[in-house]
Amino acid sequence: MNQKEFIGVGSIKIVKDILEENNAKRVLLVTADRPYITSGAKIKLDEILKSIYTERFYQFEVNPKLEDVFAGVEILNNTKFDIIIAVGGGSVMDMAKMINILAVQKERMLIDYIKNSNLIIENGLPLVAIPTTTGTGSEATHFSVVYVDNMKHSLAHHFMLPDYAVVDAELSYNLPSNIAAASGMDALSQAIESYWAVKSTDESKKYAKKAVELIIPVIEDAVSGNKYAREVMSKAAHLAGKAINISTTTAPHAISYPITSCFGLQHGHAVSLTLGYFFEINYYFKDSDVIDKRGVNYLKTTMEDLFLMFDVCSATECKNKWYGLMKTIGLNSNLGNIGISTEQDVVKITDNINHQRLSNNPVRISEKTLSAIFNK
């Protein structure tokens, strides 16, 4: 499916044309609670939607649980809507994509589709995705995350890619600095992981490289609230989303999910916590541990490309620059300070890692490697 993209300050105005294009008279609006107001999205959309029946769904957790999905599906099944508009961060996008596709699958229990996306046969309503953060790129991807009994599940299907992506950086101007830091590192992590992923392609690497090159010079200013920097970050986050839509993510994302669900760390912060170590892991390896079929030399070249993007000469310098950047933008990289302090804490994480994402890392990740990361 080809997505229609509208990128730039003021692009939210295009929603009026999208509604007319789809002859939409009844809208389900999926949002967060407070951020929908503080981002300025409510004021802008109230004007566009003033003559259209609108129902708003926002009562779900930041990291959506299965029960939240059930609630959203019930709303869709109980009321006839013509279109869905999702406004918010990654969790909002994930929720909208998931309930949209699951509400029209009628043959089985919803959990069956979450566990096996091949069962999905029906497409959902037209979906407009409008991000208010500068990080997840979820408006550009065909997958969603949901937590079932604290275990992360990813539902992926080409029907889930939003029909429209409206990336208006003005909605990120009021983003608090701590969220801007975490979401910015999420976008940077996605771009980096996409670049080295086993499933990367020439196209995904092009998007990823451009995202990295845009983010590194502006992320500190974006966290400080500079409007131009946030405009650049919004474009970069969208590119990173397009990159992982092709390649998906790798080991740092795999490790991040139980850190988020068990210790409450924001997703982007949780990802960045371990990513720095993978500059070394994915460069100083045993040849026999390389999973990517393009080979050892290809992986060495890929990693060296990343070092150049960071303006360093080695994996260790890149790792050090990564954790220096985290410190500069206010993200703590000390495990003990964020509540991961015992062997039992580490076991809780390693026992719940997403192995599908681990297998997309170019170098095989063993339990010994994981333990070494947390010991450091």
Same-domain status, 70 and 206: no
Per-residue confidence (pLDDT) for residue 362, from 0 to 100: 98
Q: At 225, is the secondary structure helix, strand, or coil?
A: coil
Same-domain status, 146 and 100: yes
265-277 residue pLDDT tens: 999 999 999 999 9
Same-domain status, 197 and 262: yes
Per-residue confidence (pLDDT) for residue 292, from 0 to 100: 97
d(CA 222, CA 292): 35
Per-residue confidence (pLDDT) for residue 146, from 0 to 100: 85
Domain of 120: which CATH number? 3.40.50.1970
Structure tokens at 82: 């013509």
Per-residue confidence (pLDDT) for residue 1, from 0 to 100: 64
Structure tokens at 303: 């990693």
Per-residue confidence (pLDDT) for residue 230, from 0 to 100: 98
Q: What domain range is 236 assigned to?
A: 177-375
Same-domain status, 155 and 182: no
Instruction: Give the end of a domain, one of 171, 187, 208.
Output: 171
Per-residue confidence (pLDDT) for residue 110, from 0 to 100: 86
Our count of domains for the chain comes to 2
Long-range contacts of 370-373 (CB under 8 A, 24+ apart): 370/255, 371/346, 373/255, 373/274, 373/277
Same-domain status, 161 and 193: no
Same-domain status, 145 and 264: no
Per-residue confidence (pLDDT) for residue 372, from 0 to 100: 86
Instruction: Give the end of a domain, one of 114, 137, 171.
Output: 171
Instruction: Give the end of a domain, one of 171, 192, 217.
Output: 171
Q: Which residues of the chain have pLDDT under 50?
A: none
Contacts of 207 (CB under 8 A, 6+ apart): 191, 194, 239, 240, 242, 243, 246
Same-domain status, 255 and 146: no
First vs last C-alpha separation in the chain: 44
130-156 residue pLDDT tens: 999 998 999 999 999 888 877 778 899
Same-domain status, 133 and 204: no
